[in-house]
Amino acid sequence: MPSPILSRRTFNRLLLGSAAGVGAGCWSARRGAPAIVTPEHARPKLPSGIAAGDVTADGAVIWSRCDRPAHMLVEVATTESFRAARTLRGPLAGPENEFITKLALPALPAGERCFYRVVFEDLGDRHLRSEPLTGSFQTVPGGPRDVRFVWSGDTAGQGWGIDPVRGGMRTYEAMRRLQPDFFIHSGDTIYADGPLAAEVPLRDGTLWRNLVTPAKSKVAESLAEFRGAHLYNLLAEAVRRSAAEVPFFAQWDDHEVVNNWYPGEILDDARYTEKNVDTLVARARRAFFDCLPIRGQATDTIYRTLSYGPNVELFFLDLRTCRAANSPNVQPVAGADTAFLGREQLDALKRRLIASPATWKIICSDMPLGLIVRDGPRDFEAVANADDGPPLGRELEIADLLRTLQQRRVRNLVWLTADVHYAASHHYSPDRARFQDFDPFWEFVSGPLHAGTFGPNALDRTFGPEVRFTSLPAGFKSGVGPADGLQFFGAVHVDGRTRALTVTHHNAAGEKLWSTTLAPDVA
């Protein structure tokens, strides 16, 4: 059942109660920030800024990090002046979490811009408070209205870190300027397996000069190193500015741990002293939940569903946790060795899609369906197996899903993904497919946000994909970095009146490259 949408009056009344979820505390009314004069050097600092995420009708998650033991205080208001603001005393930022905190706000008023202000109060001296950092976000609409969001993936990969002189991670700034309701990071939020060199030679004879931290000077193995890889991205001013203004909805892929990983793998990589992937995954998973403004803790599932008003529901997949080992991917019968989503996640996805009242069902996938993504000369990393024939291997799960959705008449399905480091639009149709028990749908690919650019990948024809757009210029040579400008993100606009969905591909400068508008099937 969808969560109730609150009026502003109800919202203000509830804020005087208690907050639920991560770091719950008690709300109390305040009139502005306290007038305390404190020497600047003595104040707590917020070195990683602030962020909001997982905004739903049930509330939102506020994230930050202090430089010392301190209590988090969060003010929330529906006016930029913070008139009649309410304050929630949040959790303790302690050394066991590297002074990272996140706080679950209660249900929020529908269709409002909420402003939030984060302050940390020194644990030893409550009179010592940080300078406040302020952010804002749009709450979930209670009725039909336009919804705009952006998506992409792949941050700080292939040795491309933050070069402050070249604008840091400037694709984040281009996304922020569009003022979207939220941002979906489609995986590879970090490159835990990608250390940075101080200098990278460019083809024009100049140097890309990376900002390098201890955590990014080697592959991540410890919890602190995985956290450090996440916190590295927040050293970029554009990332911090975007995080404060654009709610972050995240999923993971492989590079949050190590390239092309799967459960049970034992690494053959001299860079690692810890070879057991499952051990690395446990640490990486905790860092993922610690360092991003998403609901839950490391024991929770990464796959989840978030409703954003009557026209949009988001279905976040986790294509890592339950997958079988990468293989030639040609098993004729589904079983443990063909798992990709895994039975539990697949069944939950079917149920939620069938039950969804939203006009558009947006499947947020960390890997593409039809593009061929290899893991070495004989194995495959994604769904496709380069066979072009009937479904085999991991394709069997996708065929099962698509057949069920057709039988249950689930309409208006759109897939958003990243992973392959270029942007593309693919239309899937049974008229072109070997497997035909499904309704036509679109898959839109974006990225990289800030990494190497590659491609294009070949398509497997099992589900009948057709390329309608690719972002790569003629004569493109794989491997260029952010200095070449071939970084990409996508934008989605759902019209509140007509319910039409428009997808637009953008480059790092924010320029429009290609667009299409899809009319909803409301029969």
Residue 357 lies in a domain: yes
E strand intervals along 226-273: 248-250
pLDDT digits (tens, 9 = 90+) for 424-467: 999 999 999 999 999 999 999 999 999 999 999 999 999 999 99
Rounded Cα–Cα distance for residues 224 and 232 (Å): 12
CATH of the domain at 297: 3.60.21.70
* Per-residue confidence (pLDDT) for residue 28, from 0 to 100: 36
- Contact criterion met (CB below 8 Å) for 23 and 74: no
What is the per-residue burial (b if ≥16 Cβ within 10 Å, else e) of 82-114? beebbbbbbbbbeeebbbbbbbbbbbbbbebeb
Residues 41 and 187 in one domain: no
pLDDT digits (tens, 9 = 90+) for 498-517: 999 999 999 999 999 999 99
Residues 35 and 73 in one domain: yes
Residue 18 lies in a domain: yes
Residues 132 and 185 in one domain: no
Rounded Cα–Cα distance for residues 444 and 425 (Å): 5
pLDDT digits (tens, 9 = 90+) for 236-253: 999 999 999 999 999 999
Single out the residue in 95, 117, 138 at which a domain terminates.
Answer: 138
What stretches in the chain show pLDDT beneath 50? 1-35
Residues 119 and 156 in one domain: no
Q: Which amino acid, 301?
A: T
Q: What are phi and psi of 186, to 5 degrees?
A: -85, 20
- Contact criterion met (CB below 8 Å) for 129 and 46: no
Residues 82 and 230 in one domain: no
Residue 523 lies in a domain: no
Residues 196 and 75 in one domain: no
Q: In terms of residue numbers, what domain contains 73?
A: 8-138
* Per-residue confidence (pLDDT) for residue 474, from 0 to 100: 86
User: What is the Rg, in whole angstroms, of the alpha carbon atoms belonging to the chain?
Assistant: 23
- Contact criterion met (CB below 8 Å) for 92 and 71: yes
Rounded Cα–Cα distance for residues 138 and 40 (Å): 32
Rounded Cα–Cα distance for residues 132 and 12 (Å): 22
For the chain, what is the domain count? 2
Residues 40 and 79 in one domain: yes
- Contact criterion met (CB below 8 Å) for 148 and 491: yes
Q: What are phi and psi of 64, to 5 degrees?
A: -165, 180
Residue 3 lies in a domain: no
E strand intervals along 94-205: 100-104, 113-122, 133-138, 147-152, 182-185, 199-201
* Per-residue confidence (pLDDT) for residue 58, from 0 to 100: 87
Residues 124 and 186 in one domain: no
Residues 171 and 127 in one domain: no
Residue 457 lies in a domain: yes
Residues 108 and 236 in one domain: no
* Per-residue confidence (pLDDT) for residue 126, from 0 to 100: 87
Rounded Cα–Cα distance for residues 428 and 31 (Å): 55
* Per-residue confidence (pLDDT) for residue 40, from 0 to 100: 66
pLDDT digits (tens, 9 = 90+) for 149-163: 999 999 999 999 999
CATH of the domain at 36: 2.60.40.380
- Contact criterion met (CB below 8 Å) for 87 and 121: no
E strand intervals along 15-168: 27-29, 50-56, 59-65, 70-77, 86-93, 100-104, 113-122, 133-138, 147-152
**Can you say how many angstroms the Cα of residue 278 is from the centroid of all Cα atoms in its chain?**
22
CA distances from 373 to 331, 385, 397 (A): 17, 8, 17
Residue 1 lies in a domain: no
Single out the residue in 138, 160, 183 at which a domain terminates.
Answer: 138
Residue 2 lies in a domain: no
Rounded Cα–Cα distance for residues 232 and 194 (Å): 12
Going by the DSSP 8-state scheme, the letter that residue 99 receives in this structure is: T
Residues 331 and 471 in one domain: yes
Strand partners, 61: 53, 104
- Strands in 113-122's sheet, in edge-to-edge order, are 27-29, 86-93, 70-77, 113-122, 133-138
Residues 67 and 170 in one domain: no
Q: pTM here?
A: 0.92
My answer on whether omega of the bond before 2 falls inside 30° of 0, hence cis, is no
Q: Which amino acid, 291?
A: C
Single out the residue in 90, 106, 138 at which a domain terminates.
Answer: 138
- C-alpha angle 167/168/174, rounded to 5°? 70
Residue 208 lies in a domain: yes
Going by the DSSP 8-state scheme, the letter that residue 146 receives in this structure is: -
* Per-residue confidence (pLDDT) for residue 13, from 0 to 100: 42
- Contact criterion met (CB below 8 Å) for 389 and 462: yes
